[in-house]
Amino acid sequence: MQKVAGKFDVIVIGAGVAGAAVIRELSKYNLSAAILEKEPDVCFGATKGTHGIVHCGFPVDDAPIKNRTEMKGCLMMEQACADLDVPYQKAGKLLVAFNEEELRALQKALVSLKRNGVPGVELVTDKDRLRVMEPNISDQVIAALHTANTAVVSPWGLVFGLIENAVANGAKLYIDAKVQSITANNESGFLLQTSAGSFAAGYIVNAAGLFAGKVAGLIKDNSFVVSGTRQQRIVMDKKIEGIVRHVVRDLRATGAHGDFVSPTVYGDILLGAKVENVPEVGDLRTTREGLDGWILPRCRRLIPSLPPQMSIKPFSGYIPKAGADYLIKPSPVNSRFINIVLGGSGFSASLAVGEYVVNEILPSVGLQLQKKPGFNPIRKDIPHIHDLTDEERAELIGKDPLYGHIVCRCETVSEGEIVEAIRRGARTRDGVKFRTRSGMGRCQGGFCGPRVLRILSRELGIPVEQVTRKGEGSTEVLYRTKELLKEAKGGSK
Ligand SMILES: Cc1cc2nc3c(=O)[nH]c(=O)nc-3n(C[C@H](O)[C@H](O)[C@H](O)COP(=O)(O)OP(=O)(O)OC[C@H]3O[C@@H](n4cnc5c(N)ncnc54)[C@H](O)[C@@H]3O)c2cc1C
């Protein structure tokens, strides 16, 4: 029998945005809590691919939990980002109409938003005003529903911020900890066997995203099935920063993530999205039909001056869901095991989901909560050279000269930032990339990639051949060429 690596009041399985929001909320209370993640870093699941648009709570039928948490989560986001030093921009959204029929649909949507108490909404029918708000919008647009609270946020920044703050307040994080089996014992809770040892927990929160059904199956809970949709999209160079100020979205599109052109907190522009049901769950391929045949023409219908040659990275993500509404409830097999499966706007809802799970659901099944007097909500991000004034840069470089050595030229990322990212938990090239943005610019890591590999190798004390892009099966250096040459020479003797 494996030694128990940790015994906790609550264990959260899965370090995406849902698990991160739950563990941060738990860290506000006097209890022991841990989060287990199967990957070598946090935010490597669906959340890694999110657009980071914070929707304001567009009500849909048969989804009361989604409607409630999305609106509340949106209203919580600004303060949380301020506390956690996460890039946030209240961009607002324009949902546009091209004809009278669409205008009538916008009028209906406005009534529905107001009835649901969504603040900051108005219908803009003055075309001149619309063009002042969004100068590059198509001449064919006749009206737009403006939701002022829609925001854009760094999706990775939020997860890193929530988890770092939870850990600073006493929670524990275990990476490379895949939950493989769970034994339930009605008196003391659960015993979990993982790839990082065994753990005991009084309560479990299953936030395993696409794998939540499999994890629930470990306690023989087969009450739900997780499926999902693939979304393809395109990142455009920050050279066209400012081409849109709002998230501009086509009313024709279905679902929360149809055709849109969006600013990001980093200046690049996101185009999306080709949303599809694909036969293989988790399929992340992109297709020419999706990118050139769907996204580009549809986005140029909204913003005709969009230059296709400014596309720097096409990619896709997979949104897990378990029905029309979010699934957030105790398992029918064991009420101390809480299942969470979000959906299309799960990122927006995440903070409210964390609060709902910790303050309502867990107490309703017996968890005692007592506020932790010393809880500190503040966390500081890695200092980013790119965002500092000349004086601030000089001061930082004076303290640590590594901040004066630029490794990623496209995004102006210094060696100091990369070393700090590793100190905070990055073990892979993606871990560094999502914490610092090295490799996210126009050259997509062509210049800085090998340098980042060498820094990871040096700081982690492992050979460069063992450094991976995102964990097992993704090593980037296969051989040292000189050794191959030596071998070849040896072979020819
Ligand atoms: C392309 C795309 C764009 C999106 N855009 C938006 C948007 O703009 N706005 C918005 O609000 N929402 C958006 N969403 C939706 C949102 O991203 C998701 O709802 C949300 O990220 C789901 O988070 P999660 O934590 O539930 O899942 P995940 O992020 O997938 O986290 C689950 C974690 O559990 C881990 N795990 C799985 N099994 C185990 C195990 N056995 N042991 C330990 N760990 C395990 C996984 O490795 C993973 O890290 C988008 C989604 C996609 C894919």
Specify the ligand 1 atom closest to the Cα of 318.
53
Summarised one tens digit per residue, pLDDT across range 111-147 is 999 998 999 999 999 999 999 999 999 999 999 999 9
**Are residues 143 and 241 part of one domain?**
yes
Q: Return d(Cα 431, Cα 427) in angstroms, integer.
A: 6
Domain final residue pick, 381, 403, 422: 381
196 in the same domain as 62: yes
E strand or H helix at 113: helix 100-115
303 and 275 in a single domain? The answer is yes
Distance CA 200, CA 89 (A): 41
55 belongs to the catalytic site: yes
Half-sphere exposure for 47 (CA within 13 Å, toward CB): 32
- Give the pLDDT confidence of 319-334 residue by residue, as tens digits: 999 999 999 999 999 9
Cα-only R_g, the chain: 23
Q: Which of 51, 55, 146, 246 is catalytic?
A: 55
Number of the ligand 1 atom closest to the C-alpha atom of 208: 34
pLDDT tens figures, 396-409: 999 999 999 999 99
Q: Which of 25, 47, 81, 271 to mutate to test the pocket of ligand 1 (most atoms within 8 A of CB)?
A: 47
Interval 166-214: pLDDT, tens: 999 999 999 999 999 999 976 679 999 999 999 999 999 999 999 999 9
Is residue 493, in this structure, part of any structural domain at all? no
Note whether residue 492 is domain-resident: no
For residues 354-383, average pLDDT: 97
Structural domains of the chain, count: 3
Q: What percent of the chain has pLDDT over 70?
A: 97
Q: Is residue 365 part of a domain?
A: yes
pLDDT per residue over 284-297, tens digit each?
Answer: 899 999 999 999 99
Å from CA of 356 to ligand 1 middle:
18
Taking Cα atoms as reference points, which of 438, 382, 460 lies closest to residue 164?
382
Residue 442's nearest CA partner among 402, 409, 404 is 409
170 lies in the same domain as 273: no
Q: Tell me the CATH number at 127.
A: 3.30.9.10
Prediction pTM value: 0.95
Residue at 449 is within a domain: yes
Q: What pLDDT is stored for residue 256 in this prediction?
A: 45
Average pLDDT over residues 240-244: 97
Please check the confidence at residue 422 and state whether its pLDDT lies above 90: yes
Do 237 and 187 fall into the same domain?
A: no
Whether pLDDT at 455 is above 80 = yes
The C-alpha atoms of residue 130 and residue 123 are separated, in whole angstroms, by 10
Mean pLDDT for the stretch of residues 460-489: 87
- Domain assignment of residue 375, yes or no: yes
Answer yes or no: is 101 within a domain.
yes
Q: For ligand 1, which residues put their CB under 6 angstroms from it?
A: 13-19, 36-39, 44-47, 49-53, 55, 178-179, 207-211, 215, 231, 257, 317-319, 342-348
**Given this model, what pLDDT does residue 486 score?**
78
- 3-state class percentages of the chain: helix first, strand second, coil last, to nearest 5: 35, 25, 40
Closest by CA to 21, choosing from 274, 343, 354, is 354
Distance between Cα 66 and ligand 1 center (Å): 15
CATH number at residue 327: 3.50.50.60
Residues 206 and 71 in one domain: yes
| 208 CA from centroid of ligand 1 (Å) | 8
Q: Does residue 305 sit in the same domain as residue 289?
A: yes
What pLDDT, on the 0 to 100 scale, is given for residue 116? Answer: 87
Range of the structural domain that residue 407 is part of = 385-481
3-state secondary structure of 438: coil
Higher per-residue pLDDT: 224 or 185: 224
Is the pLDDT at 4 greater than 90? The verdict is: no
pLDDT of residue 219: 97
Instruction: Give 314's strand partners.
Output: 234
Question: Is 180 inside any structural domain?
Answer: yes
Q: How confident is the model at residue 477 (pLDDT cuts 50, 70, 90)?
A: confident
Average confidence (pLDDT) over 334-346: 96
The answer to whether residues 340 and 418 belong to one domain is no
Of 156-160, 270-274, 326-330, 337-341, the one with minimum mean pLDDT is 270-274
114 and 232 together in one domain: yes
Q: Which residue is closest in CA terms to ligand 1's atom 52?
A: 50
What would the mean pLDDT of 64-85 be, rounded to a whole number? Answer: 96
Do 300 and 201 share a structural domain?
Answer: no
Instruction: Inform me whether the pLDDT recorded for 493 exceeds 50.
Output: no
Residues 204 and 331 in one domain: yes
User: For residue 491, what pLDDT band results from cuts at 50, 70 and 90?
Assistant: low
Residue from 89, 347, 350, 430 to probe ligand 1 pocket by mutation (most atoms less than 8 Å from CB): 347
Q: Whole-number mean pLDDT of the chain?
A: 94
Is the distance from CB of 213 to CB of 225 less than 8 angstroms? yes
CB atoms within 10 A of CB 174: 19
| Over residues 54-81, mean pLDDT | 94
Asked whether residue 427 is domain-assigned, the answer is yes
Does residue 414 share a domain with residue 438? yes
Among 278, 299, 319, give the residue marking a domain's end: 319
State which of 362, 381, 400 marks the end of a domain. 381
What gap in Å lies between CA 339 and CA 209, rounded to an integer?
10
